[in-house]
Amino acid sequence: MSKIIEGLYYSESHEFVKVEGNVGFVGITDYAQHELGNVVYVDMPEVDDEVSQGEEFGAVESVKAASDLMSPVSGTVVEVNEALEDEPGLINKDAFENWIIKVEISDVAELDNLMNAEAYNAFIGE
């Protein structure tokens, strides 16, 4: 059974966002990393790139498949998780600790379009 954390927001494309102030920590869910298998590469945007809710911002590649990353929020990338460049498998160890990008959120009202932990759990049917 996948780990789901209360207090985070979840998208139908299996990204999460953890909000602290006006910054969102964006990554893939535990469910997503289980489905992908061993992550071997993470394609990330650059700092200062703009991301839009529901639009692609990168990709995660595993031994089984490549999957586009869709941003759960709109805003400006303020940091990328450089540790994933050298060790993409950190996502498999703990998907929630190893966020992919930090985004300065431009419209917090967009969070209303996302699922809470309970809704996401029902969505993945576990």
Residue 117 counted as domain residue: no
Residue 126 counted as domain residue: no
| Confidence band, pLDDT 50/70/90 cuts, at residue 13 | very high
Reported as a single tens digit per residue, the pLDDT across 56-90 is 999 999 999 999 999 999 999 999 999 999 999 99
Q: How many domains does the chain have?
A: 1
- In this structure, what CATH number is given to the domain that contains residue 46? 2.40.50.100
Structural domain range at position 21: 17-107
Q: What is the pTM of this model?
A: 0.96
Instruction: Determine the Cα–Cα distance for residues 122 and 54; give it in Å rounded to an integer.
Output: 20
Residue 54 counted as domain residue: yes
In order, the DSSP letters of 34-51 are HHH-SEEEEE---TT-EE
Residue 10 counted as domain residue: no
